[in-house]
Amino acid sequence: MDIQHEKTKTILKWFEELNKVPRCSKNEKAVCDWLANWAKEHGLEAKTDKVQNLLIKVPATAGFENSPTCVIQGHMDMVCEKTKTSTHDFTKDPIPLVMKDGWITAESTTLGADNGIAIAMAMTLALDKEVGHPALELLFTVDEETGLTGAVALEPGFIEGKLLLNVDSEDEGVFTVGCAGGKDIQTTLTINPVTPPEAYTPYKLTAGGMKGGHSGVDIHEQRANAIHVLTRVLAAIQSKTDLRIATISGGTAHNAIPRDAEAVFYVPEAGADLAKQVVEDLLSKLKSEYAKVDPNITLHLESPGEKPNALSTEETGRALDFILAHPHGVAEMSNDIQGLVETSNNLATVKTGATKLEVFSSQRSSNMDKLDLLTDRIAALGRLAGGEMEVGGGYPAWKPNMESKLLAQCKKVYEELFHKEPVVEIIHAGLECGIIGAKYEGMDMISFGPTIKNPHSPDEKLEVESIGKVWDFLAALLSSYK
């Protein structure tokens, strides 16, 4: 692929190097060390805090010594998702860049453009000899994808700048000025698997082929949730014959819509044909229901090759009822902003252990009262099922400031550069700006970035042309502060 924009080539060079370093959420030490060493090699001051958030200081260029310090912010971790057939090992294997038709993607895994492209841009900016800019603080946080815990752990004085450019939005030409807050809840049901009756036949049911995606960005598209699909089929079989679950699992991350789920279960020998017919009939219905948004749904029934212990009929019914009734998707739309999802829930993961069934879900809302209410409703459902609940601390929404001086400057620069107005929006996904703004009084913030599609899934892709446009805007914006 022939890339004309010279700075895009440099940015992608650093992005490719970054993609050789493991950086799944909660395992960022390697990438933190790599970036700190990179800073040292180039004579830049770097420091880390107790959770390995990293700050790299870049001196102002000549003529900008008295300009306000600007924070360029992104996160080091990535969502590590791959297809069922991929053999990729995120703890050691590099993620090669695959370029095709103006887009960059990976082979059967997430690409890591969310948010590695921000780091690559910051690295390019730090070494650039052409762009005039104020003093810069490159703030790279940890563990953004599993709860923004790196931002939560930031301490007073770690950064000094009062202008923050968060490069973690995913549509070029769009400025994000507000986002949803979030909270999670885990429900644990106690189970007591025992040896199933002798005349029962085991089966393994796999639900797959679904798109998944980002539980904030893509939740409004009403894509299928593999956990709900699987549970729906199991409940339908249970309505025809006795069914006893042995194991059930699905989903991989709190902020990724589940693409795959599977269960091992038993039915009486006389109910085997009924189970097969239910799977066949429901697959046809599901393909029709999701024809436009998730056309590749698959259901596969096979022998499990093992005979694990199973839940009783009563425990199975209780588990299926809870998962089937568990909310997923958009709960409420905003009454103030047309088209904005206000409140939603992602039924994220389910798994069985030796004595427990764990169900984890992640709620988002731009209205913190509605966020608490949805979490309370899920907790009430868990109590009805006899479960124990553990609610995460969560993070605040980012309330937009439409009178922001930074926003006004960004709009002015963008219009002068591209001769069109940028879009200003509030998003349903979570960003670190809300937390950072609450910690550092007087912070003026905005979020932008190149175009990324299908983040948090193996279909993640990055638009090449948008990288250069974001770079040109960033360079012009920084230069405007002389």
Rounded CA-CA distance 79/147 in Å is 12
Rounded CA-CA distance 439/410 in Å is 23
The catalytic residue among 77, 114, 168, 459 is 77
Phi and psi torsions of 223, nearest 5°: -70, 160
* 202 touches 246 (CB < 8 A): yes
Rounded CA-CA distance 425/402 in Å is 10
Phi and psi torsions of 306, nearest 5°: -150, 165
Q: How many CA atoms lie within 13 A of 443 on its CB side?
A: 29
The beta strand positions in 59-150, using DSSP E, are: 70-75, 98-100, 103-105, 136-141
DSSP bridge pairs for 424: 175
Number of Cβ within a 10 Å radius of residue 452: 25
Q: Can you tell me whether residue 13 is helix, strand or coil?
A: helix
Rounded CA-CA distance 164/402 in Å is 15
Rounded CA-CA distance 73/87 in Å is 32
Name residue, tokens 């044909």. Answer: 273
Rounded CA-CA distance 252/393 in Å is 20
Please confirm, yes or no, whether 77 is among the known catalytic residues: yes
Compute and round to an integer the Cα radius of gyration of the chain: 24
Contacts of 169 (CB under 8 A, 6+ apart): 175, 176, 427, 431, 447, 448, 449
Q: Can you tell me whether residue 476 is helix, strand or coil?
A: helix
The catalytic residue among 81, 114, 143, 144 is 144
Please confirm, yes or no, whether 33 is among the known catalytic residues: no
In the 8-state DSSP scheme, what is residue 241? S
Kind of pairing between the strands at 298-302 and 341-352: unpaired
> Which residues are marked as active site?
77, 144
